[in-house]
Amino acid sequence: MTGAGGFLGRHLVPLLAERHEVVAVARQPLEGVETVVGDLAGEVELPPADAIVHLAQSRRYREWPAGAADVFAVNVDATFRLLEHARGCGATHFVLASTGAVYAPSGAPLTEDAPLAPSGFYPRSKLAAEVLTEAYAGELVTAVLRPFAIYGAGQEGMLVANLAGRVAAGDEVVVQGDPGLRINPIHVRDAARAFAAALGLERSGAFNVAGEETVSLTALVELLGELAGRPARVRHEEGAGATLVGDIARMRDELGVVPRVALRDGLSEVLAGRAP
């Protein structure tokens, strides 16, 4: 598993270890699991594997264009090298972490068959990785998973974590449009269950990984304020109230994963994890 030291990876490793022998690929040794230390932006010597789960992402994914080469190396070139490694050692499954951002925002929940229209270099690189992965579907079972706003305690630098931090600090939150973007976040423990389930698939496919509850950014900030026990300060700027909500019927029906962590409970964990 690549990206084993990341936020999702730290939750997925122990879940997979319950049923599999896990070899982690990470930038530094991980406690309790065999680790191949290396950065997929360069060459990494990999052991034989029965399955590969590719979670790794470039640390420079927000740096455009300065980080473009690193993003391409991890998201696209490394995906190809890992697919070839899987094919060469007779692996049965390859699971790719893509992103819900490969879709264009829509007024209705997005199914896996919705048009793909990524905006920006990072989601476009993920779409390129998807195309490469799907090309190997005749050689092994490939699963492309598209997460929508994974969140949880201990996360840093992502949407829900950033909003929680601002609310907890009493800072104003600026939202484009009123009530702003609508999303269906998924707790990291539920997301990990979806990735684990993908290793049991008998046929290739793409799957949204998202929560059951849809919420606008304004409502999300207000809920965080309620849970934090302080008024939420929201200022609206001009902008379209877009929707980026993933339909989870395929996740539920084919992966057998129904989200267990309610949004209110998950956000409470996030805020509790920020307490001094």
Determine what percent of the chain is predicted with pLDDT higher than 70. Answer: 99
- Locate the domains of the chain by residue range: 7-152+186-212+244-259
Q: Kindly report the number of other CB atoms within 10 A of residue 14's CB atom.
A: 12
Query: What's the whole-model pTM score?
Result: 0.95
User: Side chain identity at 73, as an amino acid letter?
Assistant: A
Q: Which of 149, 221, 153, 144 is nearest to 185 (CA)?
A: 149
pLDDT at 119 over 70: yes
* CA 243 to each of CA 115, 181, 216: distance values in angstroms, whole numbers, following the listed order: 14, 5, 8
Residue range 72-109, pLDDT digits in tens = 999 999 999 999 999 999 999 999 999 999 998 888 99
Confidence bin at 273 (pLDDT 50/70/90): confident
Residue range 174-219, pLDDT digits in tens = 999 999 999 999 999 999 999 999 999 999 999 999 999 999 999 9
Residue range 50-74, pLDDT digits in tens = 999 999 999 899 999 999 999 999 9
133 within 8 A of 194, measured Cβ to Cβ: no
Cis peptide before 14 (omega within 30 of 0): no
212 within 8 A of 248, measured Cβ to Cβ: yes
DSSP string, 16-74: HHTTS--EEEESS--TTSEEEE--TTS-------SEEEE----TTTT-TTTTHHHHHII
- Kindly report the CATH number that applies to the domain delimited by 7-152+186-212+244-259: 3.40.50.720
pLDDT, position 244: 93
Token pair in block for residue 76: 């696209």
The neighbouring-strand residues paired with 93 are 51, 141
pLDDT, position 275: 56
Token pair in block for residue 119: 């905006």
Q: Kindly report the number of other CB atoms within 10 A of residue 46's CB atom.
A: 19
